[in-house]
Each structure stands twice: as structure tokens, then as C-alpha cells.
Structure 1
């Protein structure tokens, strides 16, 4: 049953590739991220994006059934280790149907960054998530500056350079 739900969710994401509205798809530039109701794995509500102004925020939407997501987690841990003290905040937002699937995934892959849950999937919809993983990099002013879909090992250096550039920008 869970596998069917995951397949249905994956199919719906693929369907979104062809029907995503241009308004939702274009967040880059001077666009703030959409308001989201997110919670931690324990159910505690997470703070809003406004509270993170002044930091560069790497927001990654992921799911336990996503093979590229498995590859992206060590990279996000490395980013956190390298840049946390320089103003980077990495946040991974889980889109699994079951929180237990996320917890099982994380038990095998411990992380050093916050994991949030988008229970309603409204946040993913408002961001225009159409692939897994989908990454949105928010600058210190609170604007979405870069969108990256998927994760291939060779892309890590380009993402790292972009983050380094945003970290040295003045507010």
C-alpha cells in the first residue's frame, strides 16, 4: 500500500512537469519563498522563512524513495559542516506519505541539519516542486535566488560556488 502511494506521488510529480504554472515555476530573482506550514519530525512547528533573513538558506525537498536524494544527503551534510558558521542554513523538507518512511531513511543516513515535514504537501505545491530532489537557495535578503532540480554528483561544485558567492554578498 505504501509503495503504491509512493508511486502515485511520483507519478503526480512527473505529471506536474507538463502542467506547472509559469507563475509558480518562476521563483528566482526578487521573489520571496511562499509561506509554509512545516513541522519537525516530532510534530513541533518550524519557524517561518522571515526568521532566517540574514542567512543563506538551502531548502531541499526530498523523499525516501528518491535515489538521487540518497546521493544529495552527504553533500548537504558537508555544506552544513563547511558553512554553518558562515551563515548557511540547510533545511530538508520531506514529502513522504508516511513520517515513518522518513525516519527509517534517516536512521540509515544520520544528518547534521534540520528535517522538516510538509504534511499537506502545500509547501511543495507553492514552491512548484516538480522533481526530486528540488533545491531552492534563498539569499540573505529572503529572496529565492536559485532553483535546482535533481542531484548529480558533478553539480555539487557549481552549487557550492553559488552558496559561497551568496554568503559574501552584502544585505
Structure 2
């Protein structure tokens, strides 16, 4: 059983009570994963995005802030292009159909994977929803973001652009 589902009401309350946080992190390797695509079931892994900046976004259908973040992340991906940047979303609903219904209302063009076991959020030590990580071209976590407000997208855009530029200069 997915532990985050059991904590959903508490997590939602804490997310509303605590201001959003954005922090650059010490470089550390992003934990590997291999997860099925929400729609096709085709396995994808983090390694296949090596060479791009990745915004790894953990979300669930019951997450209120995700209604804002997913469409804005889709716009950011369209703006920056997918040659050097990719958003990868991991849906944490126990029932993937809940995630699919959510995406009918809030469609995105980036990869959406599903983890019904809770293994991946445990590897990333998630404490709230939504939680995201910015991963550089070498597979290192360079930033973390918890919660979401509309204005956060500007900070995310700048962090992503900075890492793209770093990769272009190396």
C-alpha cells in the first residue's frame, strides 16, 4: 500500500501551512528508477534523459497545487524545448486511473510515469506533495522544490536555464 496515500490529508494540510520551499542542493546522484509510462506501460528510466536538464515532478490526483503546476510545467517545457530540457512526472496514485482522469482535465505533453508501489518517492525521501527535483545533464540533483504557487514557475525557469547554460559551457 502506498504510504503517501495514507498521509494525503496530513500532507495536504502541511503543504498548505508551510510556505513553499526552493533550495539548491549539494550535488548528489539522483536515485535511479525504472517505471512504466502511465498510458502505454512502456518502461522508462532516468538514465535515458542523461544529457538533458530534467525537472522530476512527483504528483498525485488528490494534490491541489498540482492543478497549477502541471499545466505551467507543460508551458515551460514548450517554451524551453525538449532538446536540452525535459519534465518527467511521476504519478503516485495507488490507482493509475485516478491519474489518467486528472490528466484529462489538466493535459500535459511531457512523459508521465506511474509508481503505485511508493518505492521511488521513498528513494527521493519525499515529505510532501508536490515535490520536484532539478537534475543536471550528468544526473546530479541540483535543486529541490516542495509545494507550488503560480509565481514559483519563474524561479524554476531561471534554475533550469542556468543549468542548461552550464551544460552548454562545459
State the TM bucket, normalised to the shorter chain.
Answer: 0.7 to 0.9
TM-score between both structures, scaled by the size of structure 2: 0.83
**1:10 equivalent in structure 2:** 8
Contact 2:132–2:144 under 8 Å retained in 1: yes
Q: Does 1:131 align with 2:118?
A: no
8 Å CA contact retained: 2:73, 2:153: no
> TM (normalized to structure 1)?
0.83
Of 83, 89, 102 in structure 1, the residue corresponding to residue 80 of structure 2 is 83
8 Å contact kept, 2:90–2:113: yes
Decide which structure has greater helix share.
Answer: 1
Structure 2: how far apart are the matches of 1:102 and 1:62?
Answer: 9
SS at match of 1:29: strand
| Greater share of residues in strand | 2
Unaligned stretches of 5+ residues in structure 1: 18-25
Root-mean-square deviation (CA), in Å? 2.4
- Runs in 1 of length 4+ with deviation above 4 angstroms? 11-14
Task: Give 3-state SS (helix, strand or coil) of 1:59's partner.
Answer: strand
For structure 2, the residue ranges without an aligned partner over 5 or more in a row are 16-22
Aligned residue-pair number: 157
Could you tell me how far 1:9 is from its partner in structure 2? 3.7
